[in-house]
Amino acid sequence: MKFFVDTADVSEIRAMAQTGLLDGVTTNPSLIAKSGRKMADVIAEICELTPGPVSAEAVSTDFETMLAEGRYLRGIAKNVCVKLPLTEAGLRVCRTLSDEGTPVNVTLCFSANQALLAAKAGATFISPFVGRLDDIGQDGMGLIADIVQIYRNYTFKTEVLVASVRHPVHVLQAAKLGAHVATMGPATIRMLFKHPLTDKGLEAFLADWAKTGQSIL
Ligand code: E4P
């Protein structure tokens, strides 16, 4: 399972890249706005920090402008993945860009039928938002199960990129379902390392080791 970090904070991405566990980055217009930086600059900088796909999202809603934005974003770096909303125009742009060889991440997916359309439009990734579905009392992870099954039934190459991940249980459930990717904030990635028994065990080992008076090096 691939891990993407969902942020436009370059220092966080640098730290995540140093773990050796980072496979890519996702951003969205809200995250770019939060960074307070020019989008092209921040995307270019992120692309230098990771060889993996970096999702940069178009912000227009009509076909022509969205297509022009997608081509512009793709021109920033060779690992830019153009992110498009799951609308009729967005999927039309997805088909055009995919046919040109540009990877596309179709975002704001909230139903299995939407995911089916995105796969038929040639999307590289589909981003179902599990947390936002849970927030309104729907079953976010049930949607992942449906999409994984549908994609397997028809051997679509589109990868299921679980988005709006809020906590480690989402990651566990997504992994058990066989989702290809999970994107999450840096805080959630850090939570994955933690277990109280790891901390307690390490503390005891180090205390016992100190009693020996030895050093390894
Ligand atoms: C993913 O690409 C999205 O940017 C992200 O997962 C949205 O998460 P949120 O629902 O926490 O804003």
How many angstroms separate the alpha carbon of residue 180 from the centre of ligand 1?
Answer: 16
pTM as predicted: 0.96
Tokens of 107: 């975002």
Q: Which atom of ligand 1 is nearest to the CA of 184?
A: 6
Mean pLDDT of 131-148: 98
Tell me which residue has its CA closest to atom 7 in ligand 1.
Answer: 164
pLDDT tens string 201-213: 999 999 999 999 9
Query: What is the pLDDT at residue 167?
Result: 97
Candidate from 30, 129, 132 with most ligand 1 atoms within 8 A of CB, to mutate: 129
CA-based nearest residue to 175, from 185, 160, 189: 160
Query: What is the pLDDT at residue 217?
Result: 97
Ligand 1 surroundings by CB, under 6 angstroms = 6, 26, 28, 107, 127, 129, 131-132, 163-164, 183
Mean pLDDT of 73-91: 98
Q: Which atom of ligand 1 is nearest to the CA of 163?
A: 6
Query: What is the pLDDT at residue 214?
Result: 98
Concerning whether 78 is annotated as a catalytic residue, the answer is no
Query: What is the pLDDT at residue 141?
Result: 98
Architecture of domain 2-212: Alpha-Beta Barrel (3.20)
Q: What is the 3-state secondary structure (H, E, C) of 58-83?
A: CCCCCHHHHHHHHHHHHCCCCCEEEE
Query: What is the pLDDT at residue 14?
Result: 98
Tell me which residue has its CA closest to atom 11 in ligand 1.
Answer: 164
Q: CA-to-CA distance for 115 and 121, rounded, in angstroms?
A: 10
What is the pLDDT confidence band of residue 26, given thresholds at 50, 70 and 90?
very high
Candidate from 5, 9, 23, 28 with most ligand 1 atoms within 8 A of CB, to mutate: 28
Query: What is the pLDDT at residue 116?
Result: 98
Mean pLDDT of 36-43: 98
Task: Report the C-alpha dihedral over residues 15, 20, 72, 162, rounded to 10 degrees.
Answer: -100
Q: CA-to-CA distance for 181 and 163, rounded, in angstroms?
A: 9
How many angstroms separate the alpha carbon of residue 217 from the centre of ligand 1?
Answer: 45
Mean pLDDT of 17-36: 97
What residue spans define the domains of the chain? 2-212
